[in-house]
Structure 1
Amino acid sequence: MLNFNFKNQTEILFGKGQIKEAKSRLPKDAKVLLLYGGGSIKRNGVYDDVVKLLEGVSYHEFGGVEPNPTLETLMQAVELVRAKGINFIMAVGGGSVIDGAKFVAAAAHFDGEPWHILAKGAAFTSALPIGAVLTLPATGSESNGNSVVTNKATAQKRAFGSDLVQPVFAVLDPVYTYSLPLKQVGNGVVDAFVHVIEQYLTYPVNAPLQDRFAEGILQTLIGEGPKALATPQDYDVRANVMWSATMALNGLIGKGVPQDWATHMIGHELTALFGLDHAQTLAIVLPPLMYVQRETKRQKLLQLGQRVFDISNGTEDEIIDKAIKATQDFFEHMGVKTRLSDYNLAATDIDKLIANLERNGMTALGEHADIDLAKARQILTLAL
C-alpha cells in the first residue's frame, strides 16, 4: 500500500428529514447564498424545506446553474457574493451545483483572474464555507474538494481541487431523489461506478481492504442501480445508491492506491466540445479504454471480472473480454448509451477531441502516464 494522508471534514447528515439538523451548522452571522440549478427543487418540495431551514437567516438566491456549470454563469454568482457580503454558500442540487459552489467559494475573494484557478492551477488561500443539500447522487462532490467547470467561450472543461472548498456539511435525504428523471438516475449510477473504477482498475499494490471497499461499492451499484430505475420511490434502494455515490469519491477508497482518471479527462473533452452529459462521456470512453489498456490493467481486470461480475469460466483473456462487455452492458442497462455514434458523433469529430486534449496538456494520462494522443485516438476510434 502506498503512503497517504486522509481527512474528510464533511459532516454527513443522512436520512429522511435530516435537513432539520443543518440549521445549527450555519454560522451565527450567516449571510447565505442559496445556489441551485434549473428550478426542479421548486417543484419537488426541496426548495420549501431549504427556505424553512433559512427562516431568520439573511440569504440571497441564485438559480440557473447548468448541468455542466459554466464559468460565465458562476461569475454572475461571484459578483452577487461580492456585492452582498455573502459569507456562506448553501448549494442545493447535484454535483454540478455543488461544483459550482466550490468555484464561487474560491473565486469570491481571489485576487486575480478566477479562471486561472482552473486553467493554471492558481493558488488561493481562503474560501467561503459551503453546505450542501444533495438531490442527485452521482459525483460525490458533496463530500470532497473537487470541482469541474466549463468555459463556454474557450470550449474548455477544467478541474481544480482543494480542502478549502470541501463542504462542511451535506444533507443526504434519499426522499429528495424520488422525483429525479430516470435519465438522471442512470447517469448518476454510471458516474459513481466509473469513479470507483478510476481508483480500482489500475495495478495491485497489496491494498486488499481498499480493493474490497471498491468492489463492495461496485456490486451495490450493479445490484441497486436497476432497482432505482424500476422502483423510483423505494427508500432503501435510493438510500443505498446515494451512500454508494458518496463513498465512491469521498477520498477513502483512493487512499494508498494508484489512480487513473484518463476516462474522465478524455470524457471532459466530449462535454466541452459537444455538450454530452458527463456520465454519457464516461460510458463511451471507459470500455474501449479498458480494452486498449488491458495489459497494464490485466491483474485488476481479472479481479473485476472474477470478484465483481462473478465470471469464472474461460482463459484470462476471455475473462477480461467478458468483464469489459459486462461493464458496457451495465451502462446500457442503466439507459446510458456507450457509442459515439449513439450521440451522432463520427470519425471526423475525433480530430477535434484529440486537438483539445493536446491544447489542454492531456497528453500523458492514466496511472502510468502512458495514454498519449495516439492511444487516446485509438480509444475514441474503438468507441465509434
Structure 2
Amino acid sequence: MFNFDFYNPTRIVFGNETISRLDELVPAAARILLLYGGQSARANGTLREVRDALGSREVQEFGGIEPNPSYETLIKAVDQVRTHRLDFLLAVGGGSVIDGTKFVAAAVGYEGDAWDILETRGASIRRALPFGTVLTLPATGSEMNNGGVVTRRATQDKLPFRSAYMFPQFSILDPTKTQTLPTRQLANGVVDAFVHVIEQYLTYPIDARVQDRFAEGLLQTLIEIGPLVLKESADYNTRANLMWTATLALNGLIGAGVPQDWSTHMIGHELTALYGIDHARTLAIVLPANLEIRREAKRAKLLQYAERVWQISQGDEEQRIDTAIQQTRMFFESLGLPTHLSAYKLGTDAIDALINQLDTHHLTALGEHKNVSLDVSRRVLEASL
C-alpha cells in the first residue's frame, strides 16, 4: 500500500426530513446564494423546503445550471455574488450543480481570468467562499469531495479541477428526494458511481486489502440495487443505499493509498464536450473497451474482479476476463445505457476529433502507469464503435 494523506472535512447529514437542519448548519448572519439546475427542484417543493429552513436569512437564487455546468453560466453567478456581496453558497441538486457551486466559490475572490482555475486544474485556488449542499441526485460524489468539472461551451473544453478549498462544509442527503427523478437520471447515477469505484480499484495489486474489499462491496451493492432503484416502487432503503454508495464511491476513502486510473473519465469528458452525451453514458461506452484493450496490464485485478465481484471462477484466465468484461457491459445495458458509439450515430470519423481534443488538453499519458498514449486512446475508441 502507498503512503497517503486522507483528509475529508465534509459533514454528512443523512436521512429523511433532514433539510430542516439547514437552520443549524448555515451561519445565522449568512447572505446566501441558492444555486440549482432546472425547475424540478421548485416543482417538487425542495426549494421551498430549503427556503423555509433558512428562515429570515437573506437568500437570493441562481437557477439554470446545466447538466454539464458551463463556465458561461457560472460566471453570471460569480457576478451576482460579487454585486450583492453574498457570503455563503448553497447548492441544491446533483453533481453538476455542486460542481458549478464549487467553481463559483473559488472564482468569486479569484484575481485574474477565472478560467485559469480550470487551466491549472485547481492549483491556482487560494481561497473560496464557504458552501454547503442539499443532494437531490446521487451519482458523482461531489457532495463529499474536493473536485469538480466545468465545460466552456465556446471552446468545447471540459476540464476537471481539485483543491483542498473545495470541500463542502456540509451535505444533506435525503433519499426521499430521489423519488421524483426520471429513470434515466437514476440509471446514470448507478453507472457513474460504478465507474468511479472501478477507476480506483481495477488497476494493479499493491496489497491494499481494506480498500479492495471496500470497493468490491460497493460494486456488489450497485449491481444488487441498480435494477431495483429504477422501479417506481423502489423503497426508501434501496434509495438510501444508492445515495450512500454513490457518496462513498468518490469521497477519497477507497482511493487512499492505491493507484488510480481515470482514463475512462478523461476520454469520456471529450465525448460529452464534443457530442453532448451524458457523462455517465460516455463511461458506459468507454469502460468495457478500455478494459479489453488494456487487459494485459490489468490482468491480476481483472481476475480478482471477475471472482470477487461477479463470482466467475470457471474457465481459464482469458475466459474469466472475457466474461467479467461482458458482464460489465451487460450490466450497463440492462440499465438502459448503450455501450457502443454507434448507438449515438458516431463512427470512425468522430475519433480524430476526440484524439485532437485529448492532445489539446495534454491528456497524452493517462492511466495508472501513465502509458495510455494517444495511440492507446485511439484503440480504445475504435473498440468502442
TM class by shorter-chain length? over 0.9
**Is it true that 1:357 corresponds to 2:358 in the alignment?**
yes
CA distance in 1, matches of 2:177, 2:367: 35
TM-superposed deviation, 1:262: 0.2
Q: Give yes or no for contact 1:77–1:104 (8 Å, CA) kept in 2.
A: yes
Q: Which runs of 4+ in 1 moved over 6 A?
A: none
Verify the 8 A CA contact 1:134 1:172 in the aligned structure 2: yes
Report the equivalent of 2:248.
Answer: 247
The aligned residue for residue 172 of structure 2 is: 171
Residue 233 of structure 1, CA deviation: 4.0
Match of 1:96 in 2: 96
Q: Unpaired runs of 5+ in structure 2?
A: none
* C-alpha distance in structure 2 between counterparts of 1:31 and 1:334, whole Å: 42
The equivalent residue for 1:307 is 308
**1:183-198 → structure 2 map (5 Å cutoff):** 183-198=184-199
Q: Give the whole-Å Cα distance in 1 for the aligned partners of 2:241 and 2:384.
A: 31
Name the structure 1 match of 2:137. Answer: 136
Q: Where does residue 282 of structure 2 map in the other structure?
A: 281
Query: Taking every aligned residue pair, what percent have the same amino acid on both sides?
Result: 55
Aligned to 2:6: 6
Structure 1 residue aligned with 2:78: 78
Contact 2:228-2:234 within 8 A present in 1 as well: no
How is 1:263-342 mapped onto 2 (pairs within 5 angstroms)?
A: 263-342=264-343
Partner SS for 1:22: helix
Secondary structure, in 3 states, of the residue corresponding to 1:244?
A: helix
Q: 1:120 aligns to what?
A: 120
Work out the CA distance in 1 between the residues paired with 2:260 and 2:64: 33
Contact 1:178 1:232 in 2 (8 A): no
**1:267-286 deviations in Å (ceiling 9; x for gaps):** 00000100110001000000
**What is the match of residue 15 of structure 1?**
15
Deviations 1:245-272 (A, max 9, x none): 0000000000010000000000000001
Contact 1:285 1:379 in 2 (8 A): yes
Q: Which residue identity lines up with residue 331 of structure 2 in the other structure?
A: F
After alignment, is 53-62 or 67-76 more displaced? 53-62
* Structure 1 position 22, deviation (Å): 2.2
Distance apart, 1:200 and its partner CA: 0.1
Of 57-66 and 115-124, the range deviating more from structure 2 = 115-124
CA–CA distance in structure 1, aligned partners of residues 14 and 129 of structure 2: 23
C-alpha distance in 1, partners of 2:101/2:259? 29
Distance apart, 1:230 and its partner CA:
2.1
**Conserved 8 A contact 1:128-1:165:** no
Equivalent residue letter for 2:97: V
Quick one: distance in 2 between partners of 1:58 and 1:69? Answer: 25
The TM-score normalised by the length of structure 1 is: 0.99
> What amino acid maps onto 2:36 in structure 1?
Y
Structure 1, unpaired ranges of 5+: none
Mapped partners of 1:230, 1:120: distance in 2: 42
Q: Which amino acid aligns with 2:260?
A: Q
Deviation digits for residues 114-171 of structure 1, max 9, x if unmatched? Answer: 0011013451211011110000000000000101000000100001001211101001
Distance 1:368 1:210 in 2: 19
SS of the equivalent of 1:230 reads: coil
Cα shift readout 1:20-40 (whole Å, capped 9, x = no counterpart): 122211123201000000111
Residue in structure 2 matched with residue 68 of structure 1 by the alignment: 68
Whether contact under 8 Å (1:202, 1:260) holds in the other structure is yes
8 Å contact kept, 2:10–2:168: yes
Q: Does 1:347 align with 2:375?
A: no
Residue equivalent to 2:207 = 206
- 1:358·1:373 contact (CA, 8 Å) conserved in 2? yes
